[in-house]
Amino acid sequence: MKKNIYRNWLITFIASFLIGCIFVFSINYLIDPYGAFGDKVLNMNSYGLEYNSRLAKIPYLDKNYEKFDTYILGGSKVGALLPEDIDKAYGAKSYNMMMTMGEFDAYEKTIDYIIDNYDPKRIILQLSVLEIKYFGEREALSSRLNYKVSDLSPFGYFYEYGKLNLEESVNKLYTFAEKTDDYDKDANISILTGVQNRDSVIKKIAKRKEKFYRKEDYETLKATEHTDVKAKSDGSKIKFTSFTSSTKGKRNFVKIDKSLEALQKIVDKCNENNVEFVLLSAPTCNKEFEIYPADKLKDYMTKIAEICPYWNFTGYNEISYNYWNFYDVNHYRIPFGRMMLTKMTGTEYDDMKVKDVPKDYGVFITPENAEEELEKAFTFTNPEYIENKDDLIYNMTFGPNPKKWQNK
């Protein structure tokens, strides 16, 4: 009798456990908070990009790749290269594959998938320099690639994103209940373009608690928690809190060889398939640039030129010394993406003309000129930081600003 009771209890326990697992996996598959399975039910493709900027783009492009002929890849910095600006510069139909914390393993695998499964005319890859620190997939679900692109098996992929806390699916349902017909168009990161919707981000930031102020307008000019400038109530001190570096010259360069090997494979893949490959390096705030040992970085970027000539915007220049040209120490503002395109192609925009581009902003690096040009770019020349000036404005995110570009 007792054996039967224990057996029945065990059967009931196992059955309940399996039913619970099936229930959780089914809900997460249908609701799909990360967009890992193509968001087949709720059709909120942009929602998952808030959690992982890589996963949901592949299922979307599998269905819509015929709309595009140019793909833009890179880390989070490349989000400032807008598809409409690329389209004008290259006569293209482009899509931005921005990846938070991008690295060469992800670039190579994604480009392989794009070339093998879509019909690309052009690949644009922006280097962020941060690639020297990372290579290969990390454990966090927020940085995983779609299983079609990565080495993860479909079963392992389903398991990872099927066992999510149900709270994440419930949160998506709340958003679904409030969403409008223009949800994908107005989302913080839009699946339609692959990048942030600046208007949406600004509105979201503006709702946060008021916290920081400019000195002569302490009572009326108010910023948000997302600011990078702090001022005392009497305005006696203004400091760029996110534009300081405590790791000067300490960035790890252990991933250089793997990154260069992956870059060579990318170049070979594009050449074999008659895909135009455009390579550029992103603008860097001078405070970010301080964390890289200049001699090692110069060697690394010289080796890149030996694999593929590229446009270099990394280093010290008129743009890098002005903190108002950056959202934070790691990310340049949208107008300076247009400025890069103007430098590279001669294309002019409403707010960006050839005459606006500083002479020291951008140079085409080849094996022949790499040593000389990189030496210039990596040499500090401006001892006066903008942080020491008295007319700084409180908010690094959306103005008011001293120049026309810095409201973007």
3.90.1300.10, 3.40.50.2300, 3.40.640.10, 3.40.50.1110: CATH of 30-195+250-380: 3.40.50.1110
Beta-bridged to residue 331, according to DSSP, are 328
Work out the pLDDT band at 224, boundaries 50, 70, 90. Answer: very low
- Average pLDDT score, the chain: 77
Q: Which tokens belong to 369?
A: 């000129």
Q: What would the mean pLDDT of 309-322 be, rounded to a whole number? A: 89
pLDDT of residue 327: 73
Report d(CA 128, CA 76) in Å as an integer: 8
Out of 27-36, 167-176, 371-380, the most confident range is 371-380
Alpha-carbon distance values, 366 to 255, 273, 281, 310 (Å): 22, 23, 13, 7
pLDDT of residue 326: 79
Q: Within 10 A of 386 (CB to CB), how many other CB atoms are there?
A: 17
pLDDT of residue 221: 32
pTM: 0.82
**Worst-scoring range by mean pLDDT, 1-10, 157-166, 316-325, 384-393?**
384-393
pLDDT of residue 362: 92
Angle (CA) 244-249-251 rounded to 5° is 90
pLDDT of residue 257: 85
Q: What would the mean pLDDT of 288-299 be, rounded to a whole number? A: 82
pLDDT tens readout for residues 23-70:
888 888 888 888 878 788 888 888 777 778 888 899 899 999 999 999
Cβ atoms of 46 and 185 within 8 Å: the answer is no
Dihedral, CA atoms, 94, 98, 103, 104, nearest 10 degrees?
-10
Report d(CA 399, CA 50) in Å as an integer: 24
pLDDT of residue 216: 35
Q: Which tokens belong to 306?
A: 């030996």
